[in-house]
Structure 1
Amino acid sequence: MDPSPADKPSPQPASINRRSKPQLSCNLCRRRKLRCDRKEPCSTCTARGLALSCAYPSNQAPAQRRRAPGPHETHKGRPQATVQDRLGQLEQIVVSLMQKTTSDGQDRPDQHPGASIPQDRPEDGSPEGTVNSEDFPAHSDGGNVWFSSSDAQYVGGTHWAAILDGIADLKEQLEREDHQNTEKPAMLHTFLLYGCKSASKEDILAALPDRPAVDRYISQYFNRLDLAPSCVHSGQFSREYERFWENPSQISVMWLGLLFSMICLAVLASSAADSSSSPGFRNPLVDIYREKIVQCLILGEYTKSGRYVFETLYHYLTIEYSIRKDADQDIWILSGISVNIALRMGYHRDPSHLPGISPFAGEMRRRAWATILQGDILISTQMGMPRMIKDWQCDIVEPRNLNDSDFDEDCSELPLSRPETEITTVSHLVARRRIFGALGVIVDFTASVRPVTYDEVMRLDRILNDAEVTVPTYLRMKAMARAVTDPPQVIMHRLFLRLMFHKGQIMLHCKYLNPDPATFSEAYSYSRSSCIKAALGILEIQHICDEETNPDGQLYTMRWRASSFMKHEFLTATMLLCFLARRPDALTDGHDLDQIIAALTRAHGIWMRSRNSSMEAKTAADTLSIVLAQQSVDYNVGAEGQAMNNDFALNSALPMPFPTGGLNGNGLEENFHYGFPFVGSSQMFPGSAMMDPSLAWQWQKYFGTELPHDSA
């Protein structure tokens, strides 16, 4: 029954019953959903270094905020910052890595006593003296958590994303551009986690190529890849391979999954080395074969941890990882499955303590565990998470330096390890085991939520350097010009080992970059120098990989191994140098701003070339565009009124990889031109008719003014 007219509510004008709720918080706090004390500027913006950007709606002016205008204010009491004020703000927006604020804008409390610096420093210039809590309070890394409607993600304080998050305005600008102009690529389907169509053993066998094709794939796997020594013995597999072709139906389904995983990896490597492949190309056979691998794992009930389960899982994890351009949480979940299955199978205990394991099987388990340790650290740190394996759980020793031909299933006793100066199929695995042993301790240290001391930092630094000393000479970093006769696998192992050493240095020392005069201490110059050297060294490795993975490069056949593991370290180094570019007072003796800018400029070109296929590369490229553009603006504002000359316009169509021109009296580059659009050219100059419209909003955001118009 319809209600009577008397029962119907009478409509009221919206202007009488509904009033817009007044906004009392400042615009920045409202956008970030932070607590605002309604002062002008508010405490939250002041603590974040954004006091000059703190503003309230023009139609709201609470009485408690009204005051007399200052020298650079309008009569309404709102700040009217000059260009110099904005530049001063930009010098402070990089929030200290050791002074991250909580959500209410207050600093974390310092909770630990001071620490003494040990006197037995490394020989390369470490400081002496004592540090107390008044100098620099050492506390644990808090990390960051991001929430969305469908996801919650945590990363530790040494993760590149946490470093970027500390650069408040950069992060806001990148997020704004990302939401407006980009569409994130669809995530790959991880068959083992989200399912695939079921298949029988006969169906899986029917998908296997004919023997000549499989022979070629297996040959590529053993001769072009360096994955086999990690968990597959070439002699044992060859004998099993022959038995399989004699009677394919009698082979176990899990061994069949191992075979498909080896084929799939060979296809991946072949596709990467194919000069006709575009950057985003993936051979459709990869998806077919990785689905067969998962079907074998499921049909073989992999959770029961039978024979060949770990080997197949390891290969499948490598495949899923290799086809992704960016970090993916699915890979971390897969890694956790692999680690737990390995623990259930007792891989973490040395075979000498376990009965019923032959010398051959024991040695292969040692190789497998070295691989598990490495993968756990790499994947966990890439996701910004603590590692899953703890040292106190394990007692397994490192594998021996042996070739596969030195032992087989029938040996009653393992031969003695070959000299470390001799290259074997597992030499790189042994060297990595030592570096990752030190790196694992550092990862645990930086992931700790307890207060830390500088004594412990320096103790771990010595452990890392001692591990690096044990790396054989032929696996040590050297110039590419001296490596022209070296196999590409050895060169890649060299680069990777050095990259992991620099990774440990940054994780240990990045928190001591803080240049705040209130907490600055010369006693930490060793940490600052180590961190800067490591970041520059990582970008040098990025440059080598970028050049040598080209079609005529020495690492062209290995370019599929330049994975997102390495890219993660490149990102971390990039963000740290962006931090230093905005805070040059953190630089130590032997390092200057020009050196940092040159490294970032070269890295910018590398990130730009891959920005369309990787969201992380796009983030790095966009961040560098902003930082390098601001460096150009810093020069123009500080050049004592000299306007840009015509050289910029003449050179604007010829981007250079490095800054050009000489140094002026202020130590600034004259007429320098960066290798990306619009910067260092008339297109970046405000008011120029050639200025790109997409940069107008950037100028207005940073300087709080409209672009000046060309008087002409």
Structure 2
Amino acid sequence: MLTEYRLKTRELHGNKDDAPERSSDQAPILLRGGLKEVEVEDLLAALPPRPTADALVLRCLDSGEASLILMHPPTFKDEYEQFWRNPAAASRAWLSLLFGILACAVWIEHSMNPEIGEAKPPDVFNCYREQCALALISSNCTTPGRYKVEAALMYLGNEYLQSNGLKTEISILVGIVSRLAIMMGYHRDSRIYPQLSPFEGEMRRRMWLILSTIDYFVSWQAGLPTVIPKDIGDTTPPRILLDEDFGPTTEVLPPSRSEAHTPSNITYSVALERILSVANGIAKSSEAQISPERTLHLKKQLDAVWSQVPSYLKPSAAYATDGNDGIHILTLEMTYQRARCTLHRQYLAPQHDIPPYKDFRLECVNAARRVLECQTELFQGILSQPQYRHQAWFGISRSICDCMTAAMVICLEIVSCVKKNEPLAREFSTELIGTLKTSYHCWKSCPRPSPETVKAADILARMLRLMGCCGVESGEFPKAFLPTANANVQHAPLLNQTSPSLEEPINSSFGQQIPDLETYTNFSAFDMINFVSLPLLKKTTPLILVAIRTLTINISRTCGIRRCST
């Protein structure tokens, strides 16, 4: 295990140990060091005027963002009114929570403004984010205390919003927040703490649910193990309750509402955490070869949690009309389909193209296609509407991760189809290339491009151009990536090959001859395709192999993956 994670922290080529440093304004504030404690008076002076603060607080609490179930809006609104009656009496932890809410509201307003064409957050967002961190530090966040976990989670969410690419720093923050939560007993069910009110106990369950979900998401994106140990506690899932069902004065919690008939952010969050829990187990199991029997067992587990998802959170003909529900539906399905890809990826190898392995192979490919279809529906149907763009706290970056995994699966299947050179395989390959093209145009036409979406589009463009597909654009393409004159031209009609042939050998972007593909079997930031099939495909079309290799390296660079020298 240690070797595997060391591989993920080394350069793909060479043995450099120093990563490019990020500018200080990009790094999480809590990790910069040198920050001084601030007095309550300084924090109060940094607040906006009351009318502005009122509007921002309402904007955040009424946004419908699923991650904000860690807040009980009616209760916070009451506390907010009390705060303005005597601001000097507020604790630093509560002020940290307030600044976190203000920052989140600014992000939402920024995201929904159709006149703004860039994803970079405004300066006022960074100002409130910094005040949130300073207040949290000044509250001595390493010791238990009221509002500290809530404030830390809000700060964590805001840092996630402004982060791009690799999420290793966010993973470190998850470790800090989770340690604080465990130290305060959030991992244990609140029924064992008689001093807690029913309301406090239920809110603790919600916060632990959100923290666990964030841990799963970030571990996938950063290529690191989850921070929270498995089976560390016994916290039960929160009840399906609406805000009006309970409050600080509740003496006995009402029974949980029916999941099947209560559309809410709680229902969605519980369903998502269940799927992620099984998906995380699948990812750990897939680090080694999985027997067919074990594959079937894990498949049953995954299908079981998927069957528990309420029908209104599954795809249907009507879901696209509601943006909020549509985002939840697509997020759940992409998470489920991504787990299917991970579970069945080892059966992409050509020797598994026979029963019963062929069914597993088709499971993987069909799941990958569905991931990219969900991406198209998400970006072109929902996020193209400004009023829904803010619903992306833990959505856009993770969907990019899922889509890159799916693209690699489809790329490997295209290799297999080309090798078969059969009419049905050729037709299927054409369909798969069409799926990749659609995905590319989706990233390319993103209404508000970010560094991550731009890079995703460029990766797919390079892959498609290397396969000879027209109608895609990318940066200047090195001649070394183009096919040689003696490439397997018998496959050109299938791939619509249009790239010019060169007399020089195929080289890498580093000017080196492409080595055996076994060299590239040990890296995967998102627990991507483990490339079990590549050593078996060395004699296939060089053009496609270069495409796969280029895509792989670019994905890895995008995520900051490094490789140790051998």
Is the TM value for this pair above 0.5? yes
Find the counterpart in structure 2 of residue 409 from structure 1.
248
The structural deviation recorded for 1:541 is: 1.5
Closer, same or farther in 2 for the Cα pair 1:445/1:143, shift >3 Å? Answer: farther
Q: Within 5 Å, give how 1:568-647 maps onto structure 2.
A: 568-584=401-417, 592-608=428-444, 617=453, 620-632=456-468
Q: Greater CA deviation, 370-379 or 453-462?
A: 453-462
Mapped pair 1:544 → 2:387: no
Tell me, in whole angstroms, the C-alpha distance in 2 between the residues paired with 1:381 and 1:409: 36
**2:353, 2:361 within 8 Å by CA — same for their partners in 1?**
no
Q: Within 5 Å, give how 1:686-697 maps onto structure 2.
A: 686=501
Find the counterpart in structure 1 of residue 277 from structure 2.
437
Q: Greater CA deviation, 262-271 or 379-388?
A: 379-388
Tell me, in whole angstroms, the C-alpha distance in 1 between the residues paired with 2:285 and 2:137: 37
The structural deviation recorded for 1:614 is: 5.7
The structural deviation recorded for 1:205 is: 0.5
Tell me, in whole angstroms, the C-alpha distance in 2 between the residues paired with 1:380 and 1:652: 32
The structural deviation recorded for 1:388 is: 2.2
The structural deviation recorded for 1:217 is: 0.8
Closer, same or farther in 2 for the Cα pair 1:220/1:611, shift >3 Å? Answer: closer
**1:314, 1:338 within 8 Å by CA — same for their partners in 2?**
yes
The structural deviation recorded for 1:412 is: 1.7
Q: Matched residues, percent identical? A: 28
| RMSD, matched Cα | 3.7
Secondary structure at 1:393 match in 2 = coil
**2:368, 2:407 within 8 Å by CA — same for their partners in 1?**
yes
Find the counterpart in structure 2 of residue 300 from structure 1.
139
Could you tell me which of 265, 268, 271 is aligned with 2:107? 268
Could you tell me which of 118, 126, 149 is aligned with 2:16? 149
Closer, same or farther in 2 for the Cα pair 1:185/1:577, shift >3 Å? Answer: farther
**1:549, 1:557 within 8 Å by CA — same for their partners in 2?**
no
Closer, same or farther in 2 for the Cα pair 1:249/1:558, shift >3 Å? Answer: same
CA-to-aligned-CA distance 1:314-336 (integer Å, 9 cap, x gap)? 11111111112312311111111
Q: Which structure would you say has the larger RCO, counting Cα contacts within 8 Å and 6 or more residues apart?
A: 2
The structural deviation recorded for 1:563 is: 2.6
Tell me, in whole angstroms, the C-alpha distance in 2 between the residues paired with 1:696 and 1:235: 57
Closer, same or farther in 2 for the Cα pair 1:381/1:315, shift >3 Å? Answer: same
Tell me, in whole angstroms, the C-alpha distance in 2 between the residues paired with 1:611 and 1:623: 18
Find the counterpart in structure 1 of residue 215 from structure 2.
376
Could you tell me which of 457, 471, 474 is aligned with 2:295? 457
Closer, same or farther in 2 for the Cα pair 1:696/1:249, shift >3 Å? Answer: closer
Tell me, in whole angstroms, the C-alpha distance in 1 between the residues paired with 2:248 and 2:160: 31
Tell me, in whole angstroms, the C-alpha distance in 2 between the residues paired with 1:372 and 1:184: 28
Closer, same or farther in 2 for the Cα pair 1:620/1:267, shift >3 Å? Answer: closer
**2:10, 2:17 within 8 Å by CA — same for their partners in 1?**
no
Closer, same or farther in 2 for the Cα pair 1:554/1:235, shift >3 Å? Answer: closer
Closer, same or farther in 2 for the Cα pair 1:620/1:224, shift >3 Å? Answer: closer
Closer, same or farther in 2 for the Cα pair 1:225/1:323, shift >3 Å? Answer: farther
Find the counterpart in structure 1 of residue 343 from structure 2.
508
Partner amino acid, structure 1, of 2:303: N
Find the counterpart in structure 2 of residue 389 from structure 1.
228
Find the counterpart in structure 1 of residue 238 from structure 2.
399
Aligned residue-pair number: 486
CA-to-aligned-CA distance 1:578-603 (integer Å, 9 cap, x gap)? 22222327999998211210011112
CA-to-aligned-CA distance 1:438-465 (integer Å, 9 cap, x gap)? 2232234235x6x643322221111111
Rg (Cα) greater in structure: 1
Tell me, in whole angstroms, the C-alpha distance in 2 between the residues paired with 1:621 and 1:696: 19
Closer, same or farther in 2 for the Cα pair 1:455/1:697, shift >3 Å? Answer: closer
Find the counterpart in structure 1 of residue 555 from structure 2.
none
Task: Name structure 1 gaps, 5 residues minimum.
Answer: 1-102, 104-139, 153-182, 634-647, 654-665, 673-678, 688-694, 704-712
Could you tell me which of 390, 397, 411 is aligned with 1:564? 397
Tell me, in whole angstroms, the C-alpha distance in 2 between the residues paired with 1:696 and 1:443: 31
Closer, same or farther in 2 for the Cα pair 1:614/1:216, shift >3 Å? Answer: closer
Tell me, in whole angstroms, the C-alpha distance in 1 between the residues paired with 2:89 and 2:387: 43
Secondary structure at 2:239 match in 1 = coil
Tell me, in whole angstroms, the C-alpha distance in 1 between the residues paired with 2:448 and 2:144: 40
Partner amino acid, structure 2, of 1:245: W
| Bigger helix fraction | 2
Q: Within 5 Å, give how 1:158-557 maps onto structure 2.
A: 188-195=26-33, 197-198=35-36, 199-227=38-66, 229-420=68-259, 421-447=261-287, 452-479=290-317, 482-483=318-319, 485-486=321-322, 488-515=323-350, 517=351, 521-549=354-382, 551-552=384-385, 555-556=388-389
CA-to-aligned-CA distance 1:6-48 (integer Å, 9 cap, x gap)? xxxxxxxxxxxxxxxxxxxxxxxxxxxxxxxxxxxxxxxxxxx
Tell me, in whole angstroms, the C-alpha distance in 1 between the residues paired with 2:113 and 2:16: 41
Find the counterpart in structure 2 of residue 85 from structure 1.
none
Tell me, in whole angstroms, the C-alpha distance in 2 between the residues paired with 1:422 and 1:430: 12
Tell me, in whole angstroms, the C-alpha distance in 2 between the residues paired with 1:671 and 1:511: 25
Tell me, in whole angstroms, the C-alpha distance in 2 between the residues paired with 1:329 and 1:310: 21
**1:141, 1:446 within 8 Å by CA — same for their partners in 2?**
no
Closer, same or farther in 2 for the Cα pair 1:585/1:354, shift >3 Å? Answer: farther
**2:319, 2:325 within 8 Å by CA — same for their partners in 1?**
no
Partner amino acid, structure 1, of 2:311: T
**2:112, 2:388 within 8 Å by CA — same for their partners in 1?**
no
Partner amino acid, structure 2, of 1:496: T
CA-to-aligned-CA distance 1:75-103 (integer Å, 9 cap, x gap)? xxxxxxxxxxxxxxxxxxxxxxxxxxxx9
Find the counterpart in structure 1 of residue 557 from structure 2.
none
Task: Give the alignment's TM-score, normalised by structure 1.
Answer: 0.62
Tell me, in whole angstroms, the C-alpha distance in 2 between the residues paired with 1:396 and 1:375: 16
Partner amino acid, structure 2, of 1:328: K
Secondary structure at 2:10 match in 1 = strand
**2:167, 2:221 within 8 Å by CA — same for their partners in 1?**
no
**2:60, 2:104 within 8 Å by CA — same for their partners in 1?**
yes
Q: Within 5 Å, give how 1:98-113 maps onto structure 2.
A: none
Closer, same or farther in 2 for the Cα pair 1:532/1:552, shift >3 Å? Answer: same
Closer, same or farther in 2 for the Cα pair 1:668/1:475, shift >3 Å? Answer: farther
